[in-house]
Chains A and B, each alone.
Chain A
Amino acid sequence: MRNREIVPFLFIMLITALCAWIAFAPDNTWLGRDVSVRLGLDLQGGTQVLMKADGVVDKDIMATAATVIERRVNGLGVSEAIVQLSGKDRIIVELPGVRDPEQAIETLRGTGRLEFIDTKGQFLNEGTIIRTSGNPEPKVPEVDASKPVDPANPQPTVSPEVYQSITDGRDLDTRQVSLRVTNDSISAKPAVSFVFTGQSASDLATFTAANIQKPMCIVLDNVVVSCPVVQSALIGGSGEITTSTREDAEKILNQLKYGSLPITLSIESSRTVSATLGANSVQASIVAGMVGLIIVALFMIIYYRLPGVLATVALIIYTIIIYAVHKVIPITLTLSGIAGFILSIGLAVDANVLIFARLKEELRNKRSLLRAVDAGFDEAWPAIRDSSASTLITSAILFVFGNSFGVSLIKGFALTLALGIVLSLFTAVVVTRTFLRLIVRNGALQSLWLYEISNDPDLQEQSAV
């Protein structure tokens, strides 16, 4: 008859050992896989933006835009970044751990349209926003009319003149865009070299041949990058953009190399968290989680005695399993996710509290210990099932609508809570029951005191009323 407990017991031990192996894997590598904990933006710092496409767009354009942004993200070297389409015309970008979020977002949403314009012999200042025949309606930073103009830093304005574009951004050969940094001379400026093809290449060659010793302006997203003087004809459509800093060169390289965005994106919402704030939150949450676990364990043991000890063991197993599951799937851990986890400790204990309350009732009714254990679990089950189901329903609703914030904040909470309910069903029902049955069959721990029932028959009578 022992098989009834031995098989589940071995199964529990196997699962626990497996999860402990994942949870405490050395170097966070398990079977050659990286199983380090993924921290959300609120914990490791970083930025998240919800960008909306301007004007009417369709699915294909949005998909292309997302791909371009994803390539640029990879070009930035941000690991674990997320680029996601949301709804019809939105893109969510999450960049964990970036140091300069403004620069990163600027790089991502710059359309990356490279043009050469004919300025009719004029020099234009770097940074000037102009209208080109390719894009006569550039996006301009909003000018606040109510605000007095700072003479030292005037708001950019756009002159009505429309300059003729010589090249078309679509003819840029993105594979041949590269960074050139010369180390031999301190004065040498970093540069991005490029090659145009097709019509633009021949147009560029024709224009430069006819305008030697005259200025020609290079324009990226309607902003003048530089106005070099044409030294010789650009045969074959290749040339260079020189910049003053390496960062600028890299930004231009990124935008040119990974293709131009087919749409302009405006930012609807953004969240940026610094790494220190995140690290502080992790520390605080770990302390809170530990304190919570210890108090609950003490309470369970003092109040329920032996079953309380078993429930605590089940709780520890639960913690190991849920941690391992987060690592192996992986589920991104957020601050609200941790709150969900700590809350789920209460849930995990609740199933045991229900069962133990029943167990006590059965013992008071003078059932044998083994029968009482089984009856306690069976009688408590409908309540556990229905209450878990209702919590699962609300977590599902939270999960679905958590999307509308464009934030993983609520989703993390819902996911952890739902996972906690399912796993706590396993630990509270299967684990505690198996342990309790194993012990009850072992003659040594039969004293009813251990089950919080007094051995005095008179007291038993009283408490049963």
Chain B
Amino acid sequence: MKNIVSLRYIWFLISLLIIVPGAIYFALYGLRTGIDFAGGALWDLHFTTKQTSDLNTEKIGEIFAANGFEGAQVQVSTIKVNGKEIASAVVRTKELSPTSPEQQQRTILAALTAVYGDVQRESLQSVGPTVSAEATRSAAIAVLGACVAILIYLTMAFSKAPNPFRYGVCAVLAMLHDVLVVLGMAAILGHFIGLEIDAYFLTALLTIISFSVHDTIVVFDRIRENLMHRRAGEAFDDIINHSIVQTLPRSINTQLTSIFTLTALLLFGGVTIRNLVLVLLIGLISGTYSSIFNAAQLLVVWEHREWRNWFRRGSAAEA
């Protein structure tokens, strides 16, 4: 197990192989933003007296259009509530009017009831343009704020190790790796299964940030300790490699317990938080990878100032 550090450019390459396709999808299609960030309304309707096959997406769209909501996107599905199958439709429209949203809801529900019988409004969320713009802004501030706060904390926590600032920067780089992986995957999943970026997604992203740093710190803590007891002639690379190997059982075991709980949530938890859990799972796996295969290796790259050789040798490696 002496290769974890020496094969670092292979690990970096693997990261790139995951990040680049995501980045391409991101560039081509962007992220599919939910109403939290894009504004609009999301109606979740249950038709208690009908089968899913009785529902016609076009007809439902027309009913919405006839009552002031043109361009409604309708998705019909069958869901299970307490063991009973219920026909449901999820409709995304523009946001409700700020002056008379109550009247709009009544009109739509009455129009739907006239065609399909009893309609239950299971949930309805409406977000106006000012609120969604603010949400987008504070999301960016939150992610940046988390980066800066962690950078400062780590630099302080590692002040006794040589070059404390490097630990902070490398931990944040490993964290940005995970953010990129998650955003890329979100772009891909958005394209294929319609995953939407909402407030839950942001919650997941910030949790991933903290867990990624959490994992990296455990490795860095070992490095800090091993550097303090450094024997004469012991190479920096060897210390790093040794530290990673020492923390490997913990990294994997912790990862496993989190995967267990998250999988339980994914399988048994409510539909509402399914996307949150899915994104968390992707992020945690990426976070474990980056803390084992990227973070400490970046310290080695920095120690040797290897970037001076990157372009001279024509190596494909990048950090």
Contacts and interface: CB of A to CB of B under 8 A. Distances in A.
Asked if A and B are interacting partners, one says: yes
Interface of A: 42, 50, 52, 102-103, 105-106, 139-142, 144, 146-147, 266-274, 276-277, 280-281, 284-285, 287-289, 291-292, 295-296, 299-300, 303, 335-336, 338-339, 342-343, 345-346, 349-350, 353-354, 357, 361, 379, 382-383, 386-387, 389-391, 393-395, 397-398, 401, 404-407, 409-410, 413, 417
A285 B106 contact: no
Contacts of B98: 52, 266-268
Contacts of A303: 253
B213 A343 contact: no
B18 interface: no
B296 to A, nearest CB: 14
Contacts of B224: 382
B135 interface: yes
B150 A390 contact: yes
20 contacts: A102-B102, A147-B66, A276-B120, A277-B272, A284-B269, A292-B260, A342-B261, A343-B207, A346-B262, A349-B254, A353-B250, A361-B246, A382-B221, A382-B225, A390-B150, A390-B154, A391-B211, A397-B145, A405-B36, A406-B131
A266 B277 CA distance: 34
Contact of A274 (B120, B146, B213): B120
Nearest to A274: B122
Given A269-B128, A398-B206, A405-B135, A295 B142 contact: no
B270 A404 contact: no
Interface string B214-257: 11011001101100000000000000000000110110011011
Given A267-B98, A353-B257, A390 B127 contact: no
A339 to B, nearest CB: 5
Contact of A296 (B127, B210, B257, B265): B257
Contacts of B265: 288, 292, 339, 342
A141 B253 CA distance: 59
Contacts of B215: 387
Interface string B87-129: 0000000011111111101100000000000001111111110
A280 B270 CA distance: 7
B104 to A, nearest CB: 8
Interface in B123-141: 123-128, 130-131, 134-135, 138-139, 141
B249 A357 contact: yes
A382 to B, nearest CB: 5
Given A270-B125, A299-B257, A393 B269 contact: no
A387 B222 CA distance: 13
Name B's interface SS.
helix
Contacts of A271: 123-126
A315 B93 CA distance: 45
A387 B149 contact: no
A93 to B, nearest CB: 13
Nearest to B105: A102
Contacts of A394: 146, 149-150, 206-207, 209-210, 213
B33 interface: no
Contact of B214 (A280, A284, A285, A391): A391
A383 B221 contact: yes
B102 A103 contact: yes
A377 to B, nearest CB: 14
Nearest to B98: A266
Contacts, number: 233
A342 B217 CA distance: 22
A272 B121 contact: yes
A166 B217 CA distance: 73
Nearest to B104: A141
Given A389-B153, A390-B213, A397 B142 contact: yes
B24 interface: no
A335 B82 CA distance: 18
A268 B98 CA distance: 6
Top 9 nearest A-B pairs (CB, nearest first) are A266-B98, A394-B210, A292-B261, A141-B100, A102-B102, A281-B270, A292-B264, A346-B258, A383-B221
Given A387-B217, A397-B206, A142 B100 contact: yes
Interface in B60-76: 66-68, 70
Given A42-B272, A142-B99, A343 B257 contact: no
B55 interface: no
B123 A273 contact: yes
Given A270-B124, A343-B280, A102 B106 contact: yes
Interface of B: 36, 44, 66-68, 70, 81-82, 95-103, 105-106, 120-128, 130-131, 134-135, 138-139, 141-142, 145-146, 149-150, 153-154, 157, 199-200, 202-203, 206-207, 209-211, 213-215, 217-218, 221-222, 224-225, 246-247, 249-250, 253-254, 256-258, 260-262, 264-265, 267-270, 272-273, 276-277, 280
A344 to B, nearest CB: 9
Contacts of A406: 131
A289 B263 CA distance: 11
A273 B68 CA distance: 23
A350 B217 contact: no
A287 B261 CA distance: 11
B257 A391 contact: no
A335 B250 contact: no
A353 B262 CA distance: 18
Given A142-B99, A268-B131, A270-B101, A276 B122 contact: yes
B215 to A, nearest CB: 8
A280 B269 CA distance: 10
Contacts of B154: 386, 390
A348 to B, nearest CB: 9
Nearest to A344: B261
Contacts of A353: 250, 253-254, 257
Contact of A272 (B124, B141, B250): B124
Nearest to B106: A102
Nearest to B143: A397
A350 B251 CA distance: 9
Given A272-B124, A350-B254, A389-B153, A287 B203 contact: no
B250 A280 contact: no
Contact of A270 (B126, B153, B257): B126
B261 A274 contact: no
Contact of B97 (A141, A273, A289, A387): A141
Contact of A284 (B68, B99, B199, B270): B270
Nearest to A394: B210
Given A269-B127, A391-B214, A401-B142, A346 B254 contact: yes
A140 B100 CA distance: 8
A354 B96 CA distance: 51
Nearest to B269: A288
A285 B254 CA distance: 22
